[in-house]
Amino acid sequence: NNEYGCHVSACYCDQCAAAFRKWLQARYDSLDSLNVAWGTDFWSQHYYAWEDVLPPRISPTHSNPGQVLDYQRFMSDSLLECYLTEARILREITPEIPITTNFMGAFKPVDYFAWAPHLDIISNDSYPANTVPAWETAITDDLMHSLKGGQPYLLMEQSPSQVNWMQQNPHKRPGRMRVLSYQNLAHGADGIMFFQWRQSQAGAEKFHSAVVTHEGNEHNRIFQQAAQLGAELKQLSADVVGSRTAAQVAILMDWQNWWAIEYPQRPSNRLHYWEQIKTYYAPLHGLNVAVDLLQPDSDLTNYRLVVAPLLYMLRPGVAKNLEQFVERGGILLTTYFSGIVDQNDRVALGGYPGELRKLLGIHVEEFDPWTENMTNQIVIEEGPLLGTYPCTLWGEVVHLEGARAIGVFANDYYAMGPALTVHQFGQGQAYYVATQGSNELLAGLMRLLCQQASVSPVLNVPNGIEVTQRVRADGRIVYFFLNHTGKPEVVALPAGKFTSLLNGKEVERQIEIDERDVAVLLAQ
Protein backbone atom coordinates (compact mmCIF):
# COMPACT_ATOMS: atom_id res chain seq x y z
CA ASN A 1 0.00 0.00 0.00
CA ASN A 2 1.08 3.59 -0.52
CA GLU A 3 0.96 6.49 1.96
CA TYR A 4 -1.78 5.25 4.28
CA GLY A 5 -4.20 8.06 5.06
CA CYS A 6 -3.03 10.40 2.32
CA HIS A 7 -5.84 12.50 0.82
CA VAL A 8 -8.52 10.62 2.79
CA SER A 9 -7.53 10.01 6.42
CA ALA A 10 -10.98 9.56 7.99
CA CYS A 11 -14.28 7.90 7.17
CA TYR A 12 -17.63 8.36 8.92
CA CYS A 13 -19.72 5.61 7.29
CA ASP A 14 -21.93 3.15 9.16
CA GLN A 15 -19.28 0.41 9.03
CA CYS A 16 -16.76 2.74 10.63
CA ALA A 17 -19.37 3.76 13.21
CA ALA A 18 -19.85 0.10 14.19
CA ALA A 19 -16.09 -0.46 14.33
CA PHE A 20 -15.69 2.71 16.40
CA ARG A 21 -18.13 1.36 18.99
CA LYS A 22 -16.14 -1.87 19.27
CA TRP A 23 -12.95 0.16 19.63
CA LEU A 24 -14.54 2.22 22.41
CA GLN A 25 -15.79 -0.89 24.21
CA ALA A 26 -12.26 -2.27 24.22
CA ARG A 27 -10.87 1.05 25.49
CA TYR A 28 -13.44 1.90 28.17
CA ASP A 29 -15.16 -1.42 28.94
CA SER A 30 -18.33 0.32 30.10
CA LEU A 31 -20.54 3.20 29.03
CA ASP A 32 -20.13 4.72 32.47
CA SER A 33 -16.37 5.01 31.88
CA LEU A 34 -16.93 6.49 28.43
CA ASN A 35 -19.39 9.05 29.78
CA VAL A 36 -16.89 10.14 32.42
CA ALA A 37 -14.01 10.32 29.92
CA TRP A 38 -16.01 12.40 27.45
CA GLY A 39 -17.71 14.56 30.08
CA THR A 40 -21.11 13.85 28.56
CA ASP A 41 -23.02 15.40 31.45
CA PHE A 42 -22.23 18.73 29.78
CA TRP A 43 -24.80 19.66 27.10
CA SER A 44 -26.87 16.57 28.07
CA GLN A 45 -24.85 14.17 25.93
CA HIS A 46 -25.05 11.17 28.28
CA TYR A 47 -25.07 7.79 26.52
CA TYR A 48 -27.29 4.93 27.72
CA ALA A 49 -26.67 2.43 24.91
CA TRP A 50 -23.61 1.68 22.79
CA GLU A 51 -25.76 1.86 19.66
CA ASP A 52 -26.28 5.57 20.30
CA VAL A 53 -22.55 6.34 19.99
CA LEU A 54 -21.62 7.72 16.57
CA PRO A 55 -18.55 9.22 14.91
CA PRO A 56 -18.21 13.02 15.18
CA ARG A 57 -20.20 13.70 12.04
CA ILE A 58 -21.56 17.10 10.99
CA SER A 59 -23.57 18.56 13.86
CA PRO A 60 -25.35 21.85 14.66
CA THR A 61 -22.41 23.01 16.78
CA HIS A 62 -19.14 21.83 18.28
CA SER A 63 -18.53 18.11 18.58
CA ASN A 64 -17.52 16.68 21.94
CA PRO A 65 -13.71 17.05 22.16
CA GLY A 66 -13.29 13.65 23.82
CA GLN A 67 -15.28 12.06 21.03
CA VAL A 68 -13.21 13.85 18.37
CA LEU A 69 -9.94 12.84 20.02
CA ASP A 70 -10.96 9.21 20.31
CA TYR A 71 -12.09 9.15 16.70
CA GLN A 72 -8.68 10.40 15.60
CA ARG A 73 -7.11 7.61 17.66
CA PHE A 74 -9.55 5.12 16.15
CA MET A 75 -8.86 6.21 12.57
CA SER A 76 -5.09 5.91 13.05
CA ASP A 77 -5.63 2.46 14.56
CA SER A 78 -7.99 1.48 11.72
CA LEU A 79 -5.40 2.34 9.10
CA LEU A 80 -2.85 0.40 11.14
CA GLU A 81 -5.20 -2.60 11.19
CA CYS A 82 -5.38 -2.43 7.39
CA TYR A 83 -1.58 -2.40 7.21
CA LEU A 84 -1.28 -5.32 9.64
CA THR A 85 -3.79 -7.37 7.65
CA GLU A 86 -1.76 -6.88 4.49
CA ALA A 87 1.52 -7.44 6.31
CA ARG A 88 0.34 -10.80 7.70
CA ILE A 89 -0.33 -12.04 4.17
CA LEU A 90 3.10 -10.92 2.98
CA ARG A 91 4.86 -12.54 5.95
CA GLU A 92 3.20 -15.85 5.12
CA ILE A 93 4.27 -15.70 1.48
CA THR A 94 7.70 -14.01 1.79
CA PRO A 95 8.84 -14.33 5.42
CA GLU A 96 12.43 -13.50 4.47
CA ILE A 97 11.62 -10.06 3.02
CA PRO A 98 11.39 -7.04 5.38
CA ILE A 99 8.07 -5.20 5.40
CA THR A 100 7.63 -1.44 5.36
CA THR A 101 5.29 1.24 4.10
CA ASN A 102 6.05 4.81 3.22
CA PHE A 103 5.42 7.44 5.87
CA MET A 104 4.91 11.12 5.04
CA GLY A 105 7.02 13.00 7.55
CA ALA A 106 5.01 14.65 10.32
CA PHE A 107 1.65 13.55 8.94
CA LYS A 108 -0.93 14.58 11.52
CA PRO A 109 -3.69 11.97 10.99
CA VAL A 110 -1.51 8.89 11.61
CA ASP A 111 0.42 8.23 14.83
CA TYR A 112 3.69 6.93 13.44
CA PHE A 113 5.04 6.14 16.91
CA ALA A 114 2.20 3.61 17.27
CA TRP A 115 2.94 2.19 13.82
CA ALA A 116 6.73 1.98 14.10
CA PRO A 117 6.95 -1.31 16.09
CA HIS A 118 5.06 -3.06 13.28
CA LEU A 119 7.47 -2.05 10.50
CA ASP A 120 10.74 -3.87 9.93
CA ILE A 121 12.27 -0.66 8.64
CA ILE A 122 10.93 2.89 8.68
CA SER A 123 10.59 4.48 5.27
CA ASN A 124 9.61 8.02 4.37
CA ASP A 125 8.55 10.25 1.49
CA SER A 126 10.07 13.72 1.30
CA TYR A 127 8.92 16.45 -1.07
CA PRO A 128 10.10 19.82 0.30
CA ALA A 129 9.57 22.98 -1.69
CA ASN A 130 12.70 24.66 -3.01
CA THR A 131 12.30 27.47 -0.47
CA VAL A 132 12.22 25.20 2.60
CA PRO A 133 15.27 25.85 4.84
CA ALA A 134 17.71 23.09 5.74
CA TRP A 135 16.48 22.71 9.32
CA GLU A 136 12.92 22.07 8.16
CA THR A 137 13.93 19.05 6.10
CA ALA A 138 16.34 17.87 8.79
CA ILE A 139 13.66 17.67 11.49
CA THR A 140 11.67 15.18 9.43
CA ASP A 141 14.82 13.09 8.94
CA ASP A 142 15.42 13.12 12.69
CA LEU A 143 11.82 12.08 13.31
CA MET A 144 12.28 9.09 11.01
CA HIS A 145 15.43 7.81 12.71
CA SER A 146 13.79 8.32 16.10
CA LEU A 147 10.68 6.22 15.42
CA LYS A 148 12.49 2.92 15.99
CA GLY A 149 15.01 3.99 18.59
CA GLY A 150 17.71 5.19 16.21
CA GLN A 151 17.43 2.35 13.71
CA PRO A 152 18.43 3.54 10.22
CA TYR A 153 15.54 4.31 7.89
CA LEU A 154 14.90 4.38 4.15
CA LEU A 155 14.06 7.42 2.04
CA MET A 156 11.56 5.68 -0.23
CA GLU A 157 10.36 8.68 -2.22
CA GLN A 158 11.80 11.98 -3.30
CA SER A 159 11.50 13.75 -6.63
CA PRO A 160 14.54 13.77 -8.92
CA SER A 161 13.57 17.36 -9.67
CA GLN A 162 10.16 19.05 -9.96
CA VAL A 163 6.82 17.81 -8.62
CA ASN A 164 3.45 18.38 -10.28
CA TRP A 165 1.03 19.17 -7.47
CA MET A 166 1.98 22.66 -6.30
CA GLN A 167 0.54 25.82 -7.83
CA GLN A 168 3.88 26.33 -9.57
CA ASN A 169 6.45 23.54 -9.86
CA PRO A 170 9.99 24.80 -10.43
CA HIS A 171 12.86 22.37 -10.88
CA LYS A 172 15.24 21.63 -8.05
CA ARG A 173 18.32 23.71 -8.73
CA PRO A 174 21.54 21.84 -9.60
CA GLY A 175 22.94 20.22 -6.48
CA ARG A 176 19.80 20.47 -4.32
CA MET A 177 18.60 16.90 -4.86
CA ARG A 178 22.07 15.61 -3.98
CA VAL A 179 22.37 17.74 -0.85
CA LEU A 180 18.90 16.70 0.35
CA SER A 181 19.77 13.05 -0.29
CA TYR A 182 22.94 13.39 1.73
CA GLN A 183 21.03 15.17 4.46
CA ASN A 184 18.93 12.04 4.86
CA LEU A 185 22.11 9.95 5.08
CA ALA A 186 23.53 12.42 7.57
CA HIS A 187 20.50 12.02 9.83
CA GLY A 188 20.31 8.25 9.76
CA ALA A 189 19.07 6.92 6.41
CA ASP A 190 20.62 3.76 4.99
CA GLY A 191 19.06 4.06 1.54
CA ILE A 192 17.92 6.70 -0.94
CA MET A 193 15.24 6.10 -3.58
CA PHE A 194 13.07 8.10 -5.97
CA PHE A 195 9.57 8.48 -7.18
CA GLN A 196 9.64 7.81 -10.02
CA TRP A 197 11.82 5.74 -12.36
CA ARG A 198 10.14 6.55 -15.69
CA GLN A 199 8.06 9.66 -16.36
CA SER A 200 4.47 8.79 -17.26
CA GLN A 201 3.13 9.58 -20.70
CA ALA A 202 -0.39 10.07 -19.34
CA GLY A 203 -2.24 10.28 -16.06
CA ALA A 204 -2.34 12.64 -13.10
CA GLU A 205 1.43 12.69 -12.54
CA LYS A 206 2.74 12.82 -16.10
CA PHE A 207 4.60 16.05 -15.35
CA HIS A 208 6.11 14.78 -12.08
CA SER A 209 9.85 14.39 -12.63
CA ALA A 210 11.48 10.97 -12.99
CA VAL A 211 14.95 9.53 -13.37
CA VAL A 212 14.09 8.66 -16.98
CA THR A 213 12.36 11.71 -18.45
CA HIS A 214 9.99 11.92 -21.42
CA GLU A 215 13.09 12.05 -23.63
CA GLY A 216 13.74 8.43 -22.69
CA ASN A 217 17.53 8.62 -22.61
CA GLU A 218 20.41 9.42 -20.27
CA HIS A 219 21.53 12.64 -21.96
CA ASN A 220 20.04 15.15 -19.54
CA ARG A 221 20.81 16.80 -16.21
CA ILE A 222 18.22 14.92 -14.15
CA PHE A 223 19.39 11.46 -15.21
CA GLN A 224 23.06 12.35 -14.77
CA GLN A 225 22.48 13.69 -11.25
CA ALA A 226 20.65 10.51 -10.24
CA ALA A 227 23.39 8.37 -11.78
CA GLN A 228 26.09 10.30 -9.91
CA LEU A 229 24.23 9.86 -6.64
CA GLY A 230 23.79 6.15 -7.27
CA ALA A 231 27.50 5.68 -7.89
CA GLU A 232 28.36 7.60 -4.73
CA LEU A 233 25.92 5.63 -2.58
CA LYS A 234 27.48 2.39 -3.79
CA GLN A 235 30.88 3.77 -2.85
CA LEU A 236 29.70 4.79 0.65
CA SER A 237 27.73 1.67 1.43
CA ALA A 238 30.35 -0.40 3.25
CA ASP A 239 31.33 2.46 5.58
CA VAL A 240 27.92 4.00 6.29
CA VAL A 241 25.16 1.38 6.21
CA GLY A 242 24.24 0.24 9.71
CA SER A 243 25.89 3.17 11.48
CA ARG A 244 23.73 5.28 13.78
CA THR A 245 23.28 8.84 14.88
CA ALA A 246 23.74 9.72 18.55
CA ALA A 247 21.96 12.57 20.34
CA GLN A 248 22.02 14.01 23.85
CA VAL A 249 19.08 16.34 23.18
CA ALA A 250 15.47 15.20 22.77
CA ILE A 251 12.36 17.09 21.71
CA LEU A 252 9.17 15.48 22.95
CA MET A 253 6.47 14.89 20.37
CA ASP A 254 3.10 13.24 20.97
CA TRP A 255 0.60 12.68 18.15
CA GLN A 256 -2.28 12.42 20.63
CA ASN A 257 -1.26 15.74 22.16
CA TRP A 258 -1.21 17.17 18.61
CA TRP A 259 -4.77 16.01 17.97
CA ALA A 260 -6.05 17.32 21.29
CA ILE A 261 -4.35 20.71 21.19
CA GLU A 262 -5.71 21.51 17.73
CA TYR A 263 -9.34 20.73 18.51
CA PRO A 264 -11.19 23.56 16.70
CA GLN A 265 -12.64 25.14 19.86
CA ARG A 266 -9.29 25.62 21.59
CA PRO A 267 -8.33 28.91 23.30
CA SER A 268 -6.50 30.08 20.18
CA ASN A 269 -6.58 28.92 16.58
CA ARG A 270 -3.04 30.25 16.29
CA LEU A 271 -1.68 27.30 18.27
CA HIS A 272 -0.05 24.84 15.88
CA TYR A 273 1.75 22.01 17.60
CA TRP A 274 4.16 20.89 14.88
CA GLU A 275 5.07 24.51 14.15
CA GLN A 276 6.04 24.95 17.80
CA ILE A 277 8.20 21.83 17.71
CA LYS A 278 9.93 23.22 14.63
CA THR A 279 10.39 26.59 16.33
CA TYR A 280 12.46 24.97 19.07
CA TYR A 281 14.24 22.56 16.73
CA ALA A 282 15.51 25.27 14.37
CA PRO A 283 18.04 26.89 16.77
CA LEU A 284 19.34 23.47 17.82
CA HIS A 285 19.92 22.59 14.18
CA GLY A 286 21.64 25.94 13.73
CA LEU A 287 24.03 24.96 16.53
CA ASN A 288 24.71 21.61 14.81
CA VAL A 289 23.43 19.76 17.87
CA ALA A 290 22.05 16.27 17.24
CA VAL A 291 18.38 15.84 18.21
CA ASP A 292 16.03 12.89 18.68
CA LEU A 293 12.25 13.27 18.67
CA LEU A 294 10.67 11.09 21.35
CA GLN A 295 7.33 10.33 22.92
CA PRO A 296 6.90 11.91 26.37
CA ASP A 297 6.93 8.53 28.13
CA SER A 298 10.20 7.43 26.47
CA ASP A 299 13.28 6.46 28.45
CA LEU A 300 15.23 9.72 28.88
CA THR A 301 18.24 8.22 30.66
CA ASN A 302 20.72 8.92 27.86
CA TYR A 303 19.70 12.55 27.31
CA ARG A 304 20.97 15.72 28.96
CA LEU A 305 18.49 18.26 27.57
CA VAL A 306 14.79 17.66 26.89
CA VAL A 307 12.54 20.23 25.21
CA ALA A 308 8.75 19.77 25.44
CA PRO A 309 6.83 22.54 23.64
CA LEU A 310 3.08 22.80 24.27
CA LEU A 311 2.85 19.67 26.41
CA TYR A 312 -0.88 20.29 26.77
CA MET A 313 -1.82 16.66 27.41
CA LEU A 314 -0.13 14.63 30.14
CA ARG A 315 -0.80 10.96 29.63
CA PRO A 316 -0.28 8.64 32.63
CA GLY A 317 3.31 8.48 33.82
CA VAL A 318 4.60 11.42 31.77
CA ALA A 319 4.92 13.90 34.66
CA LYS A 320 6.77 11.31 36.75
CA ASN A 321 9.06 10.52 33.83
CA LEU A 322 10.00 14.19 33.51
CA GLU A 323 10.49 14.56 37.26
CA GLN A 324 12.88 11.62 37.32
CA PHE A 325 14.79 13.03 34.35
CA VAL A 326 15.32 16.40 36.03
CA GLU A 327 16.01 14.88 39.45
CA ARG A 328 18.91 12.93 37.94
CA GLY A 329 20.46 16.14 36.63
CA GLY A 330 18.69 16.73 33.34
CA ILE A 331 17.69 20.10 31.92
CA LEU A 332 14.03 20.39 30.89
CA LEU A 333 12.32 23.20 29.01
CA THR A 334 8.58 23.34 28.51
CA THR A 335 6.23 26.12 27.51
CA TYR A 336 2.91 27.81 28.00
CA PHE A 337 -0.29 25.74 27.77
CA SER A 338 1.38 22.66 29.22
CA GLY A 339 0.05 20.25 31.85
CA ILE A 340 -3.53 21.28 31.16
CA VAL A 341 -5.42 18.01 30.51
CA ASP A 342 -5.18 14.25 30.96
CA GLN A 343 -5.29 11.58 28.25
CA ASN A 344 -9.05 12.07 27.85
CA ASP A 345 -8.74 15.83 27.33
CA ARG A 346 -10.21 16.46 30.80
CA VAL A 347 -8.75 19.49 32.56
CA ALA A 348 -6.57 18.75 35.58
CA LEU A 349 -8.28 20.59 38.44
CA GLY A 350 -6.42 22.43 41.19
CA GLY A 351 -4.49 24.90 39.06
CA TYR A 352 -2.32 24.95 35.96
CA PRO A 353 0.09 23.42 35.00
CA GLY A 354 -1.44 20.41 36.75
CA GLU A 355 0.98 17.56 37.39
CA LEU A 356 3.91 19.73 36.25
CA ARG A 357 3.35 22.30 39.01
CA LYS A 358 5.80 20.78 41.50
CA LEU A 359 8.46 20.16 38.87
CA LEU A 360 8.27 23.66 37.40
CA GLY A 361 7.83 25.44 40.72
CA ILE A 362 5.11 27.71 39.37
CA HIS A 363 1.35 28.23 39.41
CA VAL A 364 -0.33 29.63 36.31
CA GLU A 365 -3.38 31.57 37.46
CA GLU A 366 -4.65 32.26 33.95
CA PHE A 367 -3.56 32.16 30.33
CA ASP A 368 -4.26 34.92 27.83
CA PRO A 369 -4.28 34.02 24.10
CA TRP A 370 -3.44 37.09 22.02
CA THR A 371 -4.83 38.27 18.71
CA GLU A 372 -2.44 38.94 15.85
CA ASN A 373 -2.12 42.64 16.69
CA MET A 374 -1.32 42.01 20.38
CA THR A 375 2.34 41.87 21.42
CA ASN A 376 4.46 42.27 24.52
CA GLN A 377 8.09 42.12 25.55
CA ILE A 378 10.22 39.94 27.77
CA VAL A 379 12.70 41.89 29.87
CA ILE A 380 15.79 40.06 31.14
CA GLU A 381 17.92 42.28 33.34
CA GLU A 382 20.93 40.06 34.01
CA GLY A 383 22.81 37.02 32.84
CA PRO A 384 23.81 35.80 29.36
CA LEU A 385 20.36 36.53 27.93
CA LEU A 386 20.39 40.17 29.05
CA GLY A 387 18.08 42.24 26.87
CA THR A 388 14.52 43.01 25.84
CA TYR A 389 12.83 40.64 23.42
CA PRO A 390 9.49 40.86 21.61
CA CYS A 391 6.95 38.13 22.29
CA THR A 392 3.69 37.17 20.63
CA LEU A 393 0.77 34.74 20.62
CA TRP A 394 0.23 34.14 24.34
CA GLY A 395 0.70 35.50 27.84
CA GLU A 396 0.15 34.07 31.30
CA VAL A 397 -0.25 35.20 34.89
CA VAL A 398 2.46 33.16 36.59
CA HIS A 399 3.14 32.89 40.33
CA LEU A 400 6.44 31.55 41.64
CA GLU A 401 6.32 28.53 43.94
CA GLY A 402 10.03 27.87 44.26
CA ALA A 403 11.06 28.84 40.75
CA ARG A 404 13.06 31.96 39.90
CA ALA A 405 12.03 34.50 37.26
CA ILE A 406 14.73 35.05 34.64
CA GLY A 407 12.57 37.33 32.50
CA VAL A 408 9.35 39.29 33.08
CA PHE A 409 6.61 40.73 30.90
CA ALA A 410 7.01 44.43 30.14
CA ASN A 411 3.38 45.42 29.62
CA ASP A 412 -0.30 44.70 30.17
CA TYR A 413 -1.92 43.60 33.42
CA TYR A 414 0.79 41.02 34.04
CA ALA A 415 3.62 43.53 33.65
CA MET A 416 6.60 42.56 35.82
CA GLY A 417 5.12 39.07 36.12
CA PRO A 418 7.30 36.05 35.27
CA ALA A 419 7.64 35.24 31.57
CA LEU A 420 10.66 32.92 31.73
CA THR A 421 11.39 30.88 34.86
CA VAL A 422 13.80 28.23 36.10
CA HIS A 423 13.35 25.84 39.01
CA GLN A 424 16.06 23.77 40.67
CA PHE A 425 14.62 20.28 41.08
CA GLY A 426 16.89 17.62 42.47
CA GLN A 427 20.17 17.76 40.58
CA GLY A 428 18.64 19.35 37.49
CA GLN A 429 16.66 22.37 36.37
CA ALA A 430 13.23 22.88 34.81
CA TYR A 431 12.62 25.95 32.60
CA TYR A 432 9.25 27.39 31.64
CA VAL A 433 8.48 29.89 28.86
CA ALA A 434 5.10 31.56 29.39
CA THR A 435 4.87 33.18 25.96
CA GLN A 436 6.09 32.88 22.38
CA GLY A 437 9.56 34.37 22.47
CA SER A 438 11.33 35.80 19.46
CA ASN A 439 13.68 33.68 17.37
CA GLU A 440 16.58 35.66 18.82
CA LEU A 441 15.56 34.80 22.37
CA LEU A 442 14.97 31.13 21.60
CA ALA A 443 18.32 30.86 19.84
CA GLY A 444 20.08 32.34 22.86
CA LEU A 445 18.07 30.20 25.25
CA MET A 446 18.87 26.98 23.39
CA ARG A 447 22.55 27.90 23.34
CA LEU A 448 22.47 28.57 27.09
CA LEU A 449 20.66 25.33 27.90
CA CYS A 450 23.06 23.30 25.78
CA GLN A 451 25.95 24.83 27.68
CA GLN A 452 24.32 24.09 31.03
CA ALA A 453 23.63 20.51 29.95
CA SER A 454 27.21 20.08 28.65
CA VAL A 455 25.93 19.43 25.15
CA SER A 456 28.41 20.49 22.48
CA PRO A 457 27.93 20.96 18.73
CA VAL A 458 29.27 18.18 16.55
CA LEU A 459 31.79 20.76 15.29
CA ASN A 460 32.02 24.53 15.16
CA VAL A 461 31.48 25.42 11.51
CA PRO A 462 30.54 28.50 9.44
CA ASN A 463 26.88 29.48 9.17
CA GLY A 464 25.10 27.51 6.48
CA ILE A 465 27.23 24.42 6.96
CA GLU A 466 25.42 21.45 8.44
CA VAL A 467 27.55 18.79 10.09
CA THR A 468 26.43 15.51 11.64
CA GLN A 469 28.07 12.29 12.66
CA ARG A 470 27.12 8.64 12.51
CA VAL A 471 28.84 6.05 14.68
CA ARG A 472 29.71 2.66 13.24
CA ALA A 473 29.56 -0.62 15.13
CA ASP A 474 33.36 -0.52 15.49
CA GLY A 475 33.16 2.92 17.13
CA ARG A 476 34.60 4.87 14.21
CA ILE A 477 32.83 8.10 13.33
CA VAL A 478 31.59 9.13 9.89
CA TYR A 479 31.22 12.92 9.52
CA PHE A 480 28.79 14.44 7.02
CA PHE A 481 29.28 18.04 5.86
CA LEU A 482 26.55 19.76 3.83
CA ASN A 483 27.05 23.20 2.33
CA HIS A 484 23.62 24.81 2.06
CA THR A 485 25.09 28.17 1.01
CA GLY A 486 25.79 29.62 -2.41
CA LYS A 487 29.54 29.91 -1.87
CA PRO A 488 32.50 27.67 -0.97
CA GLU A 489 33.26 27.33 2.73
CA VAL A 490 36.33 26.18 4.65
CA VAL A 491 35.67 23.99 7.69
CA ALA A 492 38.22 23.36 10.44
CA LEU A 493 38.48 19.69 11.40
CA PRO A 494 39.22 18.08 14.76
CA ALA A 495 42.72 16.83 15.45
CA GLY A 496 43.62 13.67 13.60
CA LYS A 497 43.43 12.30 10.09
CA PHE A 498 40.35 11.56 8.02
CA THR A 499 39.61 9.68 4.83
CA SER A 500 37.25 11.21 2.30
CA LEU A 501 34.77 8.48 1.45
CA LEU A 502 33.89 10.19 -1.84
CA ASN A 503 37.37 10.48 -3.35
CA GLY A 504 39.59 8.35 -1.10
CA LYS A 505 41.94 11.20 -0.23
CA GLU A 506 43.45 11.68 3.21
CA VAL A 507 42.34 14.91 4.89
CA GLU A 508 43.51 16.76 7.99
CA ARG A 509 43.19 20.17 9.64
CA GLN A 510 40.55 21.59 7.27
CA ILE A 511 38.40 20.90 4.26
CA GLU A 512 36.90 23.18 1.60
CA ILE A 513 33.35 22.42 0.50
CA ASP A 514 32.00 23.96 -2.69
CA GLU A 515 28.63 25.67 -2.85
CA ARG A 516 25.72 23.21 -2.53
CA ASP A 517 28.23 20.39 -2.18
CA VAL A 518 28.89 17.69 0.41
CA ALA A 519 31.79 15.89 2.05
CA VAL A 520 31.82 12.58 3.93
CA LEU A 521 34.84 11.87 6.12
CA LEU A 522 35.76 8.76 8.08
CA ALA A 523 37.89 9.36 11.17
CA GLN A 524 41.03 7.21 11.01
> What is the DSSP track for 85-111?
HHHHHHHHH-TTS----EE-SS-TTS-
- The separation between the first and the last C-alpha atoms of the chain, rounded to the nearest angstrom, is 43
Beta strands 244-245 and 465-471 are antiparallel
Is residue 133 very low, low, confident or very high in pLDDT (cuts 50, 70, 90)? Answer: very high
Q: Do the beta carbons of residue 363 and residue 352 sit within 8 Å? A: yes
This prediction has a pTM of 0.97
- Amino acid identity of 519? A
What pLDDT sits at residue 485? 94
Q: What is the mean pLDDT of the chain?
A: 97
pLDDT tens for 446-462 read 999 999 999 999 999 99
pLDDT tens for 205-245 read 999 999 999 999 999 999 999 999 999 999 999 999 999 99
- Fold of the domain built from segment(s) 14-242: TIM Barrel (3.20.20)
- Fold of the domain built from segment(s) 249-452: Rossmann fold (3.40.50)
What pLDDT sits at residue 481? 98
Q: Do the beta carbons of residue 313 and residue 260 sit within 8 Å? A: yes
- In CATH, the number for domain 465-523 is 2.60.40.1180
What pLDDT sits at residue 273? 98
Neighbouring-strand partners of residue 250: 292, 306
Task: Indicate whether 68 pLDDT > 90.
Answer: yes
Beta strands 506-513 and 489-500 are antiparallel
What pLDDT sits at residue 496? 95
Neighbouring-strand partners of residue 468: 480
Angle in degrees, CA 140, 146, 149, rounded to 5: 165
Residues in Cβ contact with 120 at an 8 Å cutoff, skipping those fewer than 6 apart: 98, 99, 100
Q: What is the DSSP letter of 173?
A: P
CA distances from 339 to 197, 261, 354 (A): 48, 12, 5
Q: What is the DSSP letter of 203?
A: S
Cα distance between residue 366 and residue 351, in whole Å: 9
Active site residue 515: no
DSSP alpha helix (H) spans, 298-416? 318-327, 357-360
Q: What is the DSSP letter of 248?
A: S
Q: Do the beta carbons of residue 309 and residue 279 sit within 8 Å? A: yes
Given the residues 96, 136, 157, 205, the one annotated as active site:
157
Cα distance between residue 161 and residue 171, in whole Å: 5
Percentage above 90 pLDDT, the chain = 99
What pLDDT sits at residue 1? 85
Given the residues 3, 136, 262, 401, the one annotated as active site:
3
Cα distance between residue 192 and residue 155, in whole Å: 5
- Burial of residue 299 (CB within 10 Å: 0-12, 13-18, 19+) is exposed
How much is the average pLDDT of 248-268?
Answer: 97
How many Cα atoms within 13 Å fall on the side-chain side of residue 187? 31
Residue spans of the domains in the chain: they are 14-242, 249-452, 465-523
